[in-house]
Structure 1
């Protein structure tokens, strides 16, 4: 009983911590230049994409790819779409799931165009 209450308090604390998370600001800061400058070799996003592409083309394949804690991003599964039949993105925050839904459903309101 005590352990369950502690777990509930932990989830509530995490929820409170992320309550003000802004996916649009996060995407703007992390996935547009200069951090995501594809013309620079030292830019972090192109490096991440190259590593993920290597992993998916050399080591992994299957029926279902599950990404736990996707956030409002989907770059981490892009290469996986070529070798997995289905991809499932998950996240704790509803605002992140909404951001992904807006892109997937092409509602024109997503904060970053991943195409």
Structure 2
């Protein structure tokens, strides 16, 4: 019998954040998986938020797929944080406030444990050390870690399938919105994906990372539904939602199994 595909409210009970972290964020030292996680995830996010890019007031740069300018002292909303904070490390240099918005209570609790310095929290030290090296100051990783803990002001519930995804919370417009591998996991149809993009709180710059052409992902013993999306569809959705300066960069997956072996990162302004 085929395994049941989990989705929606199943994330509250069947999604195990510790198993996800062990599977996706804890590759063996020196392995190809570790190199991939660093070179694709951490290094590409570093390029997006690199200070040399931020200091140039251009709408497009050949050295990056970032369009528009993310200014220092920005306010950032991370939609679909999951149990991870690695996606915030590079951005945090330029932020005074970050709000993490996540659907599953267990994932929110995992992030909050890290913020609180709980001994049982996931150890992101290797990620901070690697990003600090990319930034040219390998000794700064402890200060970067402390800074990120201080500027994450809230970890709130979020449902991107809701027309008002942050309800009941209300905020002034954010300067930056990031969303890493969230919408295609939360939305069951392309129509609901499009609606989720349209209902995303307005902000200056959107950085979106999506898995391309995937049908499911596995965490522990459970398979979770993933909406099949592609580069053309994502670009059309963003244009329809009013985003401009859309740049998309594709990456090969390390071990493609249930997809075509790619995931995509894009940035745009609204």
Instruction: Name the residue aligned to 1:66.
Output: 77
Take 2:82 and 2:88, find their aligned partners in 1: how far apart are those partners?
12
**Alpha-carbon distance in 2 for matches of 1:97, 1:75:** 14
Q: Could you tell me the TM-score, scaled by structure 2's length?
A: 0.34
Alpha-carbon distance, 1:81 to partner: 0.6
Counting matched residue pairs gives 100
- For the residue of structure 2 that corresponds to 1:65, the secondary structure is strand
Q: Give yes or no for the alignment of 1:54 onto 2:47.
A: yes
> Which of these residues, 91, 97, 101, is aligned with residue 90 of structure 1?
101
Please provide the CA RMSD for this pair. Answer: 2.2
Question: 2:195: which partner in 1?
Answer: none
Cα deviation, residue 84, structure 1: 1.2
Unaligned runs of 5+ in 2: 1-6, 54-68, 126-270
Higher strand share: 2
Within the candidate set 36, 40, 43, 2:35 is matched to 43
Shift of 1:50: 0.6
- Aligned-pair distance for 1:38? 5.9
Is 2:8 the partner of 1:14?
Answer: yes
- The CA distance in 2 between the partners of 1:64 and 1:97, in whole Å, is 20
Number of the residue aligned with 2:144 = none
- Whose Rg is larger? 2
Distance 1:81 1:22, change over 3 A: same
Offset of residue 19 of structure 1: 2.3
In the TM superposition, residue 109 of structure 1 has moved relative to its aligned partner by 1.3
Report which of the two has the higher share of helix.
Answer: 1
Matched, 1:29 2:23: yes
Give the match's secondary structure for 2:20: helix
Is the Cα contact below 8 Å between 2:81 and 2:102 reproduced in 1?
yes
SS at match of 2:78: strand
